[in-house]
Amino acid sequence: MAMISEEHSKEKLGFEETELRLGLPGGGGIVNGDFGKNTNANGKRGYPETVNLKLNLSLKETEKGENLQKEKNLISCSNNAVKPPTKAQVVGWPPVRSFRKNVMAVQKSNSEEGVGGTATFVKVSMDGAPYLRKVDLNMYKSYQDLYGALGKMFNSFTMGKCDSQGMMDFMNESKLKDLLNGSDFVPTYEDKDGDWMLVGDVPWEMFVGSCKRLRIMKGTEAIGLAPRAMEKCKNRS
């Protein structure tokens, strides 16, 4: 097989000066500056958290050194400087269709305990918004994470209390009644029994396991849910 040297072909096409190196994944930043050739046998860059665990330590050390060097040279966009995602957080990878993932997840949970790393996609609708979204609940570790993501997703429609703090307040039972009267939007979900519940009243893992779909309701409509939520809470504790 013909082996054209990298340098030769780059000169031919005039790419040397404009050569771009991989920055961070997730679209983060255009990288300027020359890091020199990647002469490592493994040629890895930019994924400290997904490093193949089989590599021995000394390789890992040199890699970390390289990565630090790169991070210093990064010019990234203000709201785009995120750390490399761990495997579980990379959207759409591995490329298994949600249809298949959901089927496998159900079969798995029927035969074993625990959720494992499978994805749980649920639809999210917001009253007044013209289209639905989908979220993978397994991508978030807490209600706060989820609220942040929901807030971003629907930010063109929300006013007032639909931010991280606003939604966090709903977790506080004593504030529930006061807030429901005044707030604009309330996150609710349909659980496995088909009941509509306020988001936040059960431990996070239990929520992920029982949530079938999410609906961000207008606060006034959610008032009827509050007493039930509190009841269910009391019955559980």
Partner 1 sequence: MAYSFPEEVLEYVFAFLSSDKDRNAVSLVCKSWYEIERWCRRRIFIGNCYAVSPQIVIRRFPEVSAVKIKGKPHFADFNLVPEGWGAYLYPWISAMARSYPWLEEIKLKRMVVTDESLELISKSFKNFKVLVLSSCEGFTTDGLASIAANCRNLRELDLKESEVEDLSGHWLSHFPDNFTSLVSLNMSCLGSEVSFSALERLVSRCPNLKTLRLNRAVPVEKLPSLLRRAPQLVEFGTGAYSAEIRTDIFSNLVEAFSGCKHLKSLSGFWDVVPAYLPAMYNVCSRITSLNLSYATVQSPDLVELISQCPNLKCLWVLDYIEDAGLKALSSYCKDLQELRVFPSDPYGAEPNVSLTEQGLVTVSAGCPKLQSVLYFCRQMSNAALIAIARNRPNLIRFRLCIIEPQAPDYLTLEPLDTGFGAIVEHCKQLRRLSLSGLLTDRVFEYIGTHAEKLEMLSIAFAGDSDLGLHYVLSGCESLRKLEIRDCPFGDKALLANAAKLETMRSLWMSSCSVSYGACKLLGQKMPRLNVEVIDERGPPDSRPETCPVEKLYVYRTVAGPRVDKPDFVWTMDEDAALRLS
Which residues make up the interface to partner 1 (CB under 8 A)? 1, 4, 6, 9-10, 13, 15, 18-23, 25-27, 29-31, 38, 41-44, 47, 50, 52, 54-55, 77-80, 87-88, 90-101, 103-104, 107, 110-111, 116-119, 121, 123, 130-134, 136, 152-153, 155-156
CB of 111 to partner 1, least distance (A): 7
Our CB check for partner 1 shows the closer of 156 and 235 to be 156
**How would you list the strands of the sheet with 121-126, edge to edge?**
133-136, 121-126, 211-218, 185-191, 196-198
Our CB check for partner 1 shows the closer of 112 and 235 to be 112
Our CB check for partner 1 shows the closer of 49 and 178 to be 49
If DSSP codes are grouped into helix, strand and coil, which group holds residue 63?
A: helix
Our CB check for partner 1 shows the closer of 130 and 182 to be 130
Question: Contact 56/106 with Cβ under 8 angstroms?
Answer: no
If DSSP codes are grouped into helix, strand and coil, which group holds residue 87?
A: helix
CB of 110 to partner 1, least distance (A): 7
Instruction: Tell which residue, 126, 165, 125, 176, has the closest CA to residue 143.
Output: 165
Our CB check for partner 1 shows the closer of 142 and 156 to be 156
Our CB check for partner 1 shows the closer of 111 and 142 to be 111
DSSP 86: P
Cα(210)–Cα(208) distance, integer angstroms: 6
Query: What one-character-per-residue DSSP string does 108-154 give?
Result: HHHHSSS-TT---EEEEEETT-SS-EEEEGGG-SSHHHHHHHHHHHT
CB of 192 to partner 1, least distance (A): 13
CB of 206 to partner 1, least distance (A): 20
Cα(207)–Cα(145) distance, integer angstroms: 14
CB of 132 to partner 1, least distance (A): 5
CB of 70 to partner 1, least distance (A): 12
Amino acid at 63: E
CB of 23 to partner 1, least distance (A): 7
DSSP 218: E
Our CB check for partner 1 shows the closer of 55 and 231 to be 55
**Matching residue, tokens 């298949």:** 100
